[in-house]
Structure 1
Amino acid sequence: MQKIDGLLMKRDDLYAPFGPGEVNGGKLRQCMMLADSLPVAPTGLLTYCSIHSPQAPITAAVARSLGVPCRVVYGGTNRESVASLPMPRLAMKYGANILLAARSGRHSILYARAREIAEREGDFIVQYGINIIGHGDVLLEAVAAQAQNLPDELDNLVITCGSGITAAGMMIGLHKYGKRIKAVHLVATAPDRRPFIHKTLEGYGADRDFQYHDLFHRPGFTYEKGARAVWGGVKLHPHYEAKTMQWYRASGLPTEGALFWIVGAEPHPT
C-alpha cells in the first residue's frame, strides 16, 4: 500500500514474480495459489476468456512455471487478431497453445467447449475470473489476506468489479481483520455480480452493504475499448482500473480517507 498524490493505493500490481512488464497482480496470485492447492499436480492448464483478458497469459505463465502445457480457448475471433493483440501474444510467449473453438465469445459457450477439451486432454480448467467453484477458501483467502495491512478506518474504498471474486474476497478480509470502512464502492466493468457477491459474503458471515456503480450498462461502454488514466505516475490498466479511475475523478469523492485498490497492471509482451 502506498500514498500517492494524497490518495492511498493498494498496489496489488507490484506482485510481479516473473519480472517487470510480465503478468502481475492479485489475479496472478490467485491462479498460482489455485494451482498449488490442487491435491494432484495438473498435467496441463486450460482457460477460456476474452481475447483482451489477462487471464490467458496469467494461466500460461503459471503453467510454464509448473512445467506443464497450457491451452487457451477463444471464440468469436480469428488467427489474425490472435497474432496481433497483446494478451494472446503474451500467452503464446509463455508457451500457450491457442484454440479457436467457437464462433461466439460468450463465456457459457467457451466453457462448454473448454470442458470438452479438458475431458479429452486431462487438463485442469482455470475458470472465468480465476473462479472459486470448488476452491473458494483458497482464492477468497488469497484476497482477504491483502486487507490485513489496510488502515483500520476509511471513509471510502474503491475497487473495480469484474467477476466479483476479488471484490468479495476483499470484503471478507475487511470483516476478518476488523476494518471499519464506511463505504465500499464497486465500479462494475462486467455484468451484474451483486447476487453472487452477497451470497459469497453470506457464506463467510461477512455480508455488508456496498455501493454499486454500473459502468458496464452505460451507453457507449465496451469492455474491449481501453481507457487511459494515470495517477501520480502510476499508469492504470486500460480495461479495468483506468475506467474506475475516470469514474472516481468524476465522483466527487475526496482523496482524504479514501483507498483505491489496484488489482493489476497491464502486462506488455516483448
Structure 2
Amino acid sequence: MFEKYIDDIQSKHNNGVITAGSVHSPQSANIAKVAEFHKVKCITCVGGTKPENLDNHHMMRLTKHYGCEIKIVAGHGMSNVIHARERELAKENGYMVIEQGELLEKNPSEMFYATADQVENIPDELDNLVVASGVGIQLMGILLGLKKFNKKVKRIHSICVGPTREKHMKRYENELLKSQDGMVWDKPESLNLNEFTMLAHKSPYGKGHDYMVNNSYIDDIYEGKAYQWMLENVDTANEKTLFWCVGKRPRPEDVDYIIENGL
C-alpha cells in the first residue's frame, strides 16, 4: 500500500510521511522501515512516555534505528489526542498521514481481500476459530474469506486487545457495500457474513502474555492474550479449533540483534 502512494509522497508531500501509535505497537517501526527503503522522511507521534524513557521501549529503539523521528505529543497514551496532534503536524510540514486507518479509508477492499484470500488455506469445517483483534481489520478480511471459500465455522471468537469493535465492523461492511471493489458476489444488500462474538481481554494493552507455539514465540500483545483466552475457554482437545496468527512484533532480543547487525 505504501508503494501505491510513493509518487504522491515524493511530489505532493515533501517526500515525507507521518504516522502515530502506541510505544508498544509495531506500526511506527513498520512504516519507518518502508520509508527508509524508499528514502522518504518519516515522523511518528506517540504519547505516554518521556524522552529519557524512549529507549526502554524496544519498538521505539527499532523505529529510531530505521531513521524515523519520534515526537512525544502527549503525556498520556490516549489515541484520539495523539492522532489529532499527528494531523496538525501533517498540515504543518505537508507530510502524508500513513497508517492502517488512513489506508483503509482510501482503499478498503484491498486491505480486506488481502486477508480474505488467505482463508482458502484453512480447513473446510471448524468448531472454533479464534482471532486476536485490534480494530477488526483482520477479522473483517477473515469473514469475507469464509464466505468467498464457503468455509463452515460454528463459532468465531474475536478476542479484542482494547475495546470491542462492533461499530468498526459495521462501518467496514458499509464501506465494502458502497465500493463493490473485489466483491465475489453480485451487488448484495448485505454481506451476510458469519456471526461472531467479540470479547475484550481484561489485561492492559501493554502487558504481554508469553506463549510459544511450535518452538516459536507468538506475539505477546495480541496473539498471546487471545491464545491464553483460548486455552482457558475452548475445549481444543475435543473441538476442531483454529487459532489465527496474524504475525508478531519483534521481541526485545530480536530488536537488539537487528540493531547490532545493522539490518
Q: What is the TM-score of this pair, normalised by structure 2?
A: 0.82
In structure 1, the residue corresponding to 2:157 is in which secondary structure? Answer: strand
Query: Is the helix fraction higher in 1 or 2?
Result: 2
Aligned residue in 2 for 1:40:
7
User: Displaced runs of 4+ in structure 1, greater than 4 A?
Assistant: 128-131
Give the distance between the partners of 2:6 and 2:101, measured in 1 at CA.
Answer: 21
Aligned residue in 1 for 2:166:
194
Per-residue deviation, 1:131: 5.3
Q: Does 1:92 align with 2:64?
A: yes
Aligned residue in 2 for 1:213:
199
Would the alpha carbon gap of residues 166 and 102 (structure 1) be closer, same or farther in structure 2, given more than 3 Å must change?
same
Give the distance between the partners of 1:214 and 1:163, measured in 2 at CA.
Answer: 12
The letter of the residue matching 1:241 is E
Would the alpha carbon gap of residues 45 and 39 (structure 1) be closer, same or farther in structure 2, given more than 3 Å must change?
closer
Aligned residue in 1 for 2:112:
140
In structure 2, the residue corresponding to 1:208 is in which secondary structure? Answer: coil
Q: Does 1:237 align with 2:219?
A: yes
Which of 77, 90, 94 aligns to 1:118? It is 90
Which of 243, 251, 259 aligns to 1:260? It is 243
Give the distance between the partners of 1:82 and 1:128, measured in 2 at CA.
Answer: 23
Would the alpha carbon gap of residues 129 and 232 (structure 1) be closer, same or farther in structure 2, given more than 3 Å must change?
farther
The letter of the residue matching 2:34 is V
CA RMSD of aligned residues (A): 1.9
Identity of matched residues, %:
30
Which of 176, 179, 183 aligns to 2:151? It is 179
Number of corresponding residues: 233
Per-residue deviation, 1:257: 2.0
Which of 127, 152, 170 aligns to 2:99? It is 127
* Structure 2 residue runs without a partner (length 5+): 10-14, 178-190, 257-263
* Structure 1 residue runs without a partner (length 5+): 1-33
The higher relative CO (CA closer than 8 Å, separation ≥ 6) is in 1
Aligned residue in 2 for 1:21:
none
